Structure formats: structure tokens, C-alpha cells
Amino acid sequence: MARTEKKKDVVLVGFGWTGAIMGIELANEGLEVLALERGHDQDTVPNFQYPNMIDELKYGIRYGMMEKPANTTVTIRRSLDEEALPYRSLGTFLLGTGVGGAGTHWNGLNWRPMQSEYRLKSYVTEKFGAGVMTEDMTIQDYPMTYEELEPHFDRFEKVAGISGTAGNINGKIVEGGNPFEAPRSDEYPMPAMAAISFSGESARNSFHSVISITASAPCTASMAEPAKCSSAGITCRAWPGCGS
Ligand SMILES: Cc1cc2nc3c(=O)[nH]c(=O)nc-3n(C[C@H](O)[C@H](O)[C@H](O)COP(=O)(O)OP(=O)(O)OC[C@H]3O[C@@H](n4cnc5c(N)ncnc54)[C@H](O)[C@@H]3O)c2cc1C
């Protein structure tokens, strides 16, 4: 039933990662914030409490945490000539719903984009020539650079307590990290996860480090004190759909 709330300074529509981060930043500035979430309310306990949340039928098969396409969906087309049709059954692309949105069931991997990904059109043109792209390709450069966003990646990693080993700090390659990553201003706030063993020489050469939000050690830090973060107030739990 409709109810009337006291007037607020800001109303957020949707409460996933984006809404939550915006909400805390605005509230810290002294604004009154209200978040409207279309999905169900949920909290760590009881919703993600063991053993309820490893129910494979409910979550892995019936997509209990995802928005049903019958309620809301997106349309997809493979070329500009095609009529866009609604996505009717959930597959790889899954829409989050409920308090926390897709952040409650993400895989918890947190690689930074490469520098070239922000200027992909320019990069591909320089490397392979403009002719490699067909006319209907919608590939573009972003209006911002990796360097402009770097301080924000650094802050997010400290807020969320990301575990990993840096491979490139301010241009200096660091042993044990990913030597191909873009330059970072600082190390990860949490130590790397225990080594994963890959079989075969080519596999070993392909994997340099695993960057994950899954805490590698106990964690207690918060949004307010990310700099002190030896860990975070956010933890990733296994979701049966991805086997993580
Ligand atoms: C299975 C899965 C695994 C993933 N793994 C990773 C990963 O390992 N690493 C990574 O970086 N990213 C991963 N992602 C992506 C990441 O989770 C999302 O990019 C991120 O959570 C999006 O956050 P958001 O707040 O922008 O959107 P959402 O989480 O989608 O939040 C939007 C919220 O708005 C609500 N909403 C929508 N419309 C309305 C409306 N009209 N009124 C009210 N509420 C509304 C929705 O219910 C939802 O809760 C994964 C995503 C999925 C689905």
C-alpha cells in the first residue's frame, strides 16, 4: 500500500553497489538519503546464512537472487538491421535484484581494466589500422583515462578489502604480481589469496596472480577508514551458480 515518507534531500532508485556507494558518500556530506529498491529486503543474516544460501536448486537453477525476465528485462540485437528482442530466459547475463543488487552474488573478482580499454577505438586503430573495424561496430574511446580513474580504483580496493599482489607500482614491475597490469599507485590492502595450482606449463605461464574480494585474512575496515584497511566490512560468500 502507498505510504508517504518525510521529504529527503536525495532519493536513490535502486540499491546495489552504485546506490550504496552514492548513499554513503551523500550521507557523509550530511544529506538525508532514501533508497528505493524494487526487490526484496535482505541482510547477511538470515539471507546469506549457511546452509540456506548453498541451496543449488533455489539459487543456482531457479535463480532465486536474480530479477525474473518476466518482471523486467533488456532487449538485445546482433546487428543494426535486426529488431531488438527481449531477453526471455536467464543465461550469462543476470540482472540483480533486492537490497545489495548483483553485488550480493557477484564472483568477487576485481581486476582493473587495462589502459588500452579506455581508448579502445584509438588503440585498435593504431595497432591494426582503421580498416579492421566494420562500419557498424560501435566501439568507442571512454571520455576519461585510466590515469584519471586510478585514485578511485585505489580507494575502492581499500574500501572493499581486495586481496592481491601488485605487479606494477608506479611503473616499477613487482615480482609475484601481474606484470601486464596498468601502473597502480599502491599495493593491495590485503595479501594475495593462497596460490592456485594450474597444471601444464602454458597454464602456469598464463596466470600471474589472482585478484579477489574474497578476504585472504579476517577483516574489519570500513568505508569511513579505508586507509586503515587491512581488510573490509564487505565479504564475498560462495554463490552456487558460479561455484565460487
Ligand atoms: C553472477 C554475477 C557475477 C558477477 N561477478 C563479478 C565479478 O566477479 N567482478 C566484478 O567486478 N563484477 C561482477 N559482476 C558485476 C557486478 O556485480 C555488477 O556490475 C554490480 O554489482 C552492479 O552494481 P549496480 O549497483 O550498478 O547495479 P545492480 O547491482 O544491478 O543494482 C541495481 C539495483 O537497482 C534495483 N532497481 C532497478 N530498477 C529499479 C527501479 N525502477 N526501482 C527500484 N529499484 C530498481 C535492482 O533491483 C538492483 O538491486 C557480476 C555480476 C553477476 C550478475
Ligand 1 pocket, residue 18 CB under 6 Å: yes
Q: Give 195 or 22, the one with higher predicted confidence.
A: 22
Question: Looking at the domain assignment, is residue 203 inside a domain?
Answer: yes
User: What's the rounded mean pLDDT across residues 51-78?
Assistant: 90
Residue 119 pLDDT > 80, yes or no? yes
Pocket flag, ligand 1, residue 161 (CB < 6 Å)? no
**Residue 19 belongs to some domain of the structure:** no
Whether the pTM exceeds 0.85: the reply is no
Asked if residue 228 is part of any domain, the answer here is: yes
What is the best residue among 12, 21, 38 to mutate for testing ligand 1's pocket, by most ligand atoms within 8 Å of CB?
38
Closest C-alpha among 143, 158, 146, 155 to residue 114:
146
* 100 C-alpha to ligand 1 centroid (Å): 8
Contact between 76 and 92 under an 8 Å Cβ cutoff? The reply is no
Say how many domains are in the chain.
Answer: 1
d(CA 91, CA 74): 13
Give the mean model confidence (pLDDT) for residues 114-134: 94
CA 97/CA 78 separation, integer angstroms: 26
- pLDDT (tens digit per residue) in 167-184: 999 999 999 899 999 999
Q: What is the pLDDT of residues 230-240, one digit of tens each?
A: 443 444 443 34
Percent of the chain with pLDDT over 90: 51
Residue 97 lies in a domain: no
* 156 located within any domain: yes
Query: Is the CB of residue 225 less than 8 Å from the CB of residue 161?
Result: no
The residue whose CA has the least distance to atom 23 of ligand 1 is 17
Asked whether residue 39 is assigned to any structural domain, the reply reads no
Range of the domain at 229: 109-238
- Residue 133 inside a domain? The answer is yes
Residues 166, 209: Cα–Cα separation, whole Å: 9
Look at 39-43, 104-108, 128-132, 224-228 and tell me which has the smallest mean pLDDT: 224-228
Q: Is the CB of 153 under 6 A from ligand 1?
A: no
Atom of ligand 1 nearest to the CA of 108: 8
- Residue 83 falls within a domain, yes or no? no
Question: So what's the pLDDT on residue 239?
Answer: 39
